[in-house]
């Protein structure tokens, strides 16, 4: 998505409004349909052509976020060799997941801070595609081991929010990636120990 919204003149008004909403969120500015219209350079009533209210705009931004995160995860897994070890695959996904959260914190919070409105099928579908991709990877790597899958996703999600909430000190991207890989390695070591013990 573009990081700079130009005043809207013609073309895809909905996309321009979503882009303006993302910029408003990420700049920490007041977030309303009126503010988004102003940022996009359109009349205060223009957003209502596409969004009934602020919640509908929230959902559109969340959809964009889910799609962008899914693309980042697919890129991360696609860059690995086909014979990559499970730990390497999960570490790459975890690093991409946390990196997205730190690069786009306001969008990430909006994506996961509100429950999906079941009436908004587009947001439910976008969230479902992300869940489906992760579940497919986990099932391929750990058939029938849903507990490990939940643990690994929870770890990445928790690390993302620990960084966003300032519970873990700010670090360079490389240091954050190293922390994610360390956490993934620890979970695999615990799982290996449990398997050996049984």
Q: What is the pLDDT of residues 128-185, one digit of tens each?
A: 999 999 999 999 998 887 777 888 889 999 999 999 999 998 789 999 999 999 999 9
For the packed helices 54-78 and 33-40, what is the interaxial angle rounded to 10 degrees?
Answer: 60
What are the residue ranges spanned by the domains of the chain? 1-51, 59-197
More confident residue, 51 or 29: 51
* Percent of the chain scoring above 70 in pLDDT: 87
pLDDT at residue 37 is higher than 70: yes
CA angle, corner 94, sides to 138 and 4, nearest 5? Answer: 125
Q: Of the ranges 101-105, 125-129, 173-177, 189-193, which one carries the lowest mean pLDDT score?
A: 189-193
Q: How far apart are CA 140 and CA 35, in angstroms?
A: 45
Q: What is the pLDDT of residue 113?
A: 80
Query: Which of left, alpha, beta for 145 (phi over 0: left; psi -120 to 50: alpha)?
Result: beta
Q: In the CATH scheme, what is the code of domain 59-197?
A: 1.10.357.10
178: CB partners within 8 A, 6+ apart? none
More confident residue, 180 or 9: 180
pLDDT bin (cut points 50, 70, 90) of residue 110 is very high
Q: What is the DSSP letter of 141?
A: H
pLDDT bin (cut points 50, 70, 90) of residue 1 is very low
pLDDT at residue 30 is higher than 80: no
pLDDT bin (cut points 50, 70, 90) of residue 120 is low
* Cα 192 to Cα 71, 94, 95, 127, 188, distances in angstroms: 31, 19, 22, 31, 6
More confident residue, 158 or 195: 158
Task: Look over the chain and give the mean of its residue pLDDT values, rounded to a whole number.
Answer: 86
Q: What is the pLDDT of residue 169?
A: 82
DSSP-based three-state secondary structure for 115? coil
Q: What is the pLDDT of residue 2?
A: 43
């Amino acid at each position: 998505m573009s990081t700079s919204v130009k005043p809207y003149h013609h073309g895809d008004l909905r996309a321009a409004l979503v882009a303006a909403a993302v910029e408003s969120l990420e700049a920490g500015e007041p977030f309303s349909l009126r503010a988004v219209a102003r940022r996009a350079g359109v009349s205060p009533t223009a957003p209502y052509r596409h969004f009934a209210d602020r919640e509908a705009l929230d959902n559109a931004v969340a959809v964009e976020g889910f799609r962008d995160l899914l693309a980042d995860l697919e890129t991360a897994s696609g860059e690995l060799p086909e014979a990559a070890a499970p730990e390497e695959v999960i570490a790459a996904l975890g690093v991409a997941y946390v990196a997205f959260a730190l690069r786009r914190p306001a969008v990430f919070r909006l994506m996961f801070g509100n429950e999906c409105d079941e009436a908004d099928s587009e947001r439910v579908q976008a969230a479902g595609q992300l869940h489906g991709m992760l579940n497919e990877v986990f099932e391929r790597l750990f058939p029938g081991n849903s507990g490990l899958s939940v643990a690994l996703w929870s770890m990445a999600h928790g690390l993302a929010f620990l960084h966003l909430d300032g519970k873990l000190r700010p670090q360079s991207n490389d240091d954050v990636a190293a922390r994610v890989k360390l956490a993934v390695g620890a979970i695999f070591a615990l799982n290996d120990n449990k398997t050996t013990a049984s």
